[in-house]
Amino acid sequence: MTIYNLFPLLVGHFSNWPQHLRRAADMGFGWIFVNPIQYSGFSGSLYSISDYFRWHPLLVDDEDPREPFLQSQAVIESGERLGLRFMTDLVTNHCAFDSPLVREHPEWLEWEGGKVVHPHCYEGNKKIVWGDLAKFRYDERAELGGLIDYWIRVASFLVEQGFQGFRCDAAYQVPDPVWSQIIGAVKKAHPEVIFVAESLGCTLEQTLGLVNAGVDFIQNSSKWWNFHDPWLMEQYDLTRELVGSIGFPESHDTPRLAAELDGNFAGLKQRYLFSALFSTGVMIPIGYEFGFRRPLHVVDTRPTDWEATDVDLSRFIESVNEVKRQHPTFHREVATQFIATGNPRVLLMRKSDRETGESSLVLLNTDIRQHQHFWCPSLYGYLGVDRKLVDVSPEFRLDYLPSPFEYDLRPGQGIVLVTEWGVRTNWGSWGAAF
């Protein structure tokens, strides 16, 4: 899955969406992820949903004579003509505190001292309470039958509107048996629909529970990897044979990477390349390709927050997505290793797909400010098979891979090499012993 997150409050009216859909399609994305577009409660937050069967008023064009559902269906159909599929959030852990559901179905919600419970989290020792939200009740005494039927109805409604995938918001906060019933019912009626679990911060047990419940993909934490510590591969190896994962260099929940890197162009490229080639799926929010620095906000963001920059990564992203699309080791969860090189600032990632026989090597300069030197007797020594390597890098491709191999990697640069099936080299025995 290559996913472009169209943040609705930044884009505005449905009539404004087509230009952004065309750009996403031109960059080689196959999916559009849209944050909740349902009618929000008092706070106006996208994730504080009051009515799951109406659209957010800021997205409806009052000058368009068509009723809101026809406006959204038209823009989704325009995206489908470009080869795009659409997914959205399924928010099942809370609703708006002023939602009619609080009055109509109090048995679905948690109460304490006669007041509805607001969800909370901790940042260090500080308790953060979301006062605009009401928490659904999922304990063993809850009356879940009607609530589960409600979520199945919500998901079915969204499928009817054109959405073919769901991101399960804060998936670990909803019991696995509930997800199993929702996913099972939706897939029975619509087998093509996919479910992506927002699983960041989950324990392994929680993640495996979501996998057993039927989710098709989870999100991985590659964004926060420092290119050295072992935890990323430890997490990846525990789940890669069970479920696909989706990486991202930034998301609508994180600070903008361009702001974190103070506009370092090489760093934006490096992080997208790694996120895209590490795992099955990749996702970026709108504006990443232009180096936007303002964070996306689920309440306050507006179309006037669109930024004018001198950055345009569109063609680079298109090239990376094409590499990912064409080569199985980059769009499947396969055996992956990080191999030490003579330079600690140069990462070497080897991926091997037993099913297709393809292998690949990715050389990545983890330094986004300086060139880094790499040397080895032969790249084939890292490969372990006697197939010819071909450079398919998104930029600065090499026509010839000499042995010994020596190269000064530009800041953040990645060299992407894949085996050419059926073309053997004379390095087979040497490589196997390397």
- Same domain, yes or no: 379 and 429: yes
Phi, psi of 362 (to 5 degrees): -125, 120
369 vs 425, more confident? 369
Give me the CATH number covering residue 50. Answer: 3.20.20.80
Find the domain containing 414 and state its range: 335-433
Query: Whole-angstrom Cα distance, residue 45 to residue 111?
Result: 22
Instruction: Output the pTM of the full model.
Output: 0.93
Q: What is the mean pLDDT of residues 112-116?
A: 93
Using the predicted structure, report yes or no on whether residue 430 has a pLDDT greater than 70: no
Please indicate, yes or no, whether residues 189 and 223 belong to a single structural domain of this protein: yes
Q: How far is CA 23 from the centre of its chain?
A: 18
Domain match, 184 and 142 both? yes
Strand 194-197 vs strand 217-219: parallel, antiparallel, or unpaired? parallel
- So what's the pLDDT on residue 11? 98
One domain for residues 196 and 274: yes
Among the listed ranges 4-13, 61-70, 140-149, 339-348, which one has the minimum average pLDDT value? 140-149
Q: Are residues 170 and 264 in the same domain?
A: yes
Secondary structure (DSSP) of 262-285: TT-HHHHHHHHHHHHHHSSEEEEE
Residue 103 sits in the same domain as residue 245: yes
Cα–Cα distance measured from residue 198 to residue 191, given in angstroms and rounded to the nearest whole number: 21
pLDDT score of 423 more than 60: no
Does 118 share its domain with 209? yes
Query: Could you give the number of structural domains in the chain?
Result: 2
Interstrand relation of 217-219 and 244-247 (parallel, antiparallel or unpaired):
parallel
| Interacting residues of 322 by C-beta distance below 8 A, sequence separation 6+ | 28, 394
User: Is 80 exceeded by the pLDDT of residue 356?
Assistant: yes
Mean pLDDT of 97-125: 90
Residue 203 has pLDDT above 90, yes or no: no
Instruction: Compute the average pLDDT of residues 5-16.
Output: 97
Measuring CA to CA, which residue among 423, 427, 404, 407 is closest to residue 415? 407
Q: Same structural domain for residues 65 and 126?
A: yes
Other CB atoms within 10 A of residue 115 CB:
10
Residue at a domain's end among 276, 304, 326: 326
Provide the CATH number for the domain around residue 350. 2.60.40.1180
Are 297 and 376 contained in the same domain?
Answer: no
Give the pairing type, strands 165-168 and 194-197. Answer: parallel
Q: At 369, is the pLDDT very low, low, confident or very high (cuts 50, 70, 90)?
A: very high
More confident residue, 9 or 340: 9
Residues 133, 119 contacting (CB under 8 angstroms): yes
For residue 387, the model assigns a pLDDT of 78
Comparing 428 with 117, which gets the higher pLDDT?
117
405 and 264 assigned to the same domain: no
- End-of-domain residue from the set 326, 360, 392: 326
Residues 153 and 302 both lie in one domain: yes
- Asked which of 64-68, 113-117, 379-383 is least confident by mean pLDDT, the reply is 379-383
DSSP string, 342-410: SSTTEEEEEEE-TTT--EEEEEEE--SSS-EEEEES-GGGGT-S-EEEEE--SSS--S---SSEEEEEP
pLDDT interval class at 425 (50, 70, 90) = very low
Q: Check pLDDT > 90 for residue 386.
A: no
pLDDT at 427: 40
Last residue of a domain, one of 297, 326, 355: 326
- What's the mean per-residue pLDDT of the chain? 93
Whether residues 136 and 161 fall in one domain: yes
The predicted structure's pLDDT at residue 421 = 60
Summarised one tens digit per residue, pLDDT across range 239-272 is 989 999 999 999 999 999 999 999 999 999 999 9
Average pLDDT over residues 151-173: 96
